[in-house]
Amino acid sequence: MESYLVKDLSKAEKKRTRDGYGDGLVVAGKDDKNVVVLSADLTESTRAITFQQAFPERFVQCGVAEQNMMGIAAGLALSGKIPFVSSYAVFCPGRNWDQLRVSVCYNNANVKVAGAHAGISVGPDGATHQALEDIAITRALPRMTVIVPCDYAEAKKVTVAVAKLKGPVYFRFGRADYPVITTEKTPFAIGRAEVYKDGKDVAIVACGSMVYEALKAAEILEKEGVSAMVINNHTIKPIDSKTLISAAQKTGCIVTAEEHQIFGGLGSAVAEAVSEKIGVPIIRVGVKDVFGESGTPDELMDKYGLRAKDIVSAARKSISQKLTCGEMYYPEEVHARALKTEVTPEYFFKLQGGGTIRSIVQLKEELAHMDDKVFFHHVNDVKNDFSTWIKDVYGDKKLSQLLSKHKSKHVMRDILSAWLKK
């Protein structure tokens, strides 16, 4: 799968997902003459203008009247047209949710709702214009399909695909420039999650702009010896339970990442799907039950913890919880109190280049700032000296075996922290 993505994330071209929507509308309009587009005054901002210029006779300007626009769209759909309604996500589906629920979903009308400027990266527009609840309010509606494309290329594919799908659809996209990580060859199908990177230690499930951050996080984790699976879960509903459950079974823990409230969005949908079949730790990265504020997209992504480093932290925590809840149980042959004691000098662990470790507590503390060269001298593909020392000196075979499976300072430190609390 990685061959179907851009080769170098750091050099990925940046484009706006809303441009993918505008370009996709033109393709959909050429494919089917029944495609029509409605706008609530924000024609240029949502890029519905691209369709208006190509097919002016199939474009309807509704003005600042989002509720009326949704009603018109429902009527057009029930008469055989394929209407796309475009506005900011806080207005559509935010302001016209009642019309979406009753006029569209209740009647199973073939309306496509495009929510622009979604997420925190709207930036200077501030909290009133930052839609952070739109996934939650749309996925709760019966008959509704909900999709969050990850970049320009996928937004274009989504727009073309939903025009051919029968029934109500909501899809969202942002305002800011996002790295284009997919290509024309990248597989896409509504309702199917795509595994962009395989891994065995943790599964990172992301949507929208957070897919890029998830791939960056996986690169960081790889350097720490952690193998992270990355899944682009663009379709929130219907969710691909099969792929998610398979990932949970393989890795034993999950991190979700979304530019949305952690309640009701991707994280909630993944937890619902997975927990019915298998119990694994799930850590959610997203906006934590607060409203946004004005600022540049980069400033807000940093402030609200929506970066690769935040996903990395969540991955470490998820792995730690997996070990605590699953593999890690109370050691029968060695008590935690005994593990905290300092050994006699003849059993000190001598670090490469100088220095000694006198106890497991000290080892845990040293791992936080241990030089990489020293660490990888003792822990590599051939050996794990720390694991061997614990087994030989403390006699704890279970802890030793658990440590031997990992080559990350951070994960090993989390294991020791949890073990010492037993």
* Active site (catalytic) residues: 66
Let me know if 10 is exposed, middle or buried by CB neighbors in 10 A (0-12, 13-18, 19+).
exposed
| The dihedral sign for the CA sequence 215, 218, 223, 228 | negative
Let me know if 231 is exposed, middle or buried by CB neighbors in 10 A (0-12, 13-18, 19+).
buried
The residue among 222, 212, 157, 208 whose CA lies nearest residue 184 is 157
Distance (Å, rounded) from C-alpha 362 to C-alpha 413?
11
DSSP label at residue 33 = T
Ramachandran bin of 69, using left for φ above 0, alpha for ψ from -120 to 50, beta for the remaining angles? alpha
The DSSP-derived string for 182-244 is: B-TTS---TT--EEEE--SSEEEEE-TTHHHHHHHHHHHHHHTT--EEEEE--EEES--HHHH
**φ and ψ at residue 88, rounded to 5 degrees:** -65, 145
Give the three-state DSSP class for 272: helix
**φ and ψ at residue 159, rounded to 5 degrees:** -60, -45
Is residue 362 within 8 A of residue 390, CB to CB? The reply is no
Distance (Å, rounded) from C-alpha 171 to C-alpha 162?
9
Distance (Å, rounded) from C-alpha 241 to C-alpha 307?
26
The C-alpha R_g of the chain, in whole angstroms, comes to 25
Is residue 70 within 8 A of residue 104, CB to CB? The reply is yes
Is residue 186 within 8 A of residue 5, CB to CB? The reply is yes
**φ and ψ at residue 244, rounded to 5 degrees:** -65, -45
User: What spatial distance separates the first Cα and last Cα of the chain, rounded to whole Å?
Assistant: 41
Residue type, 374: V
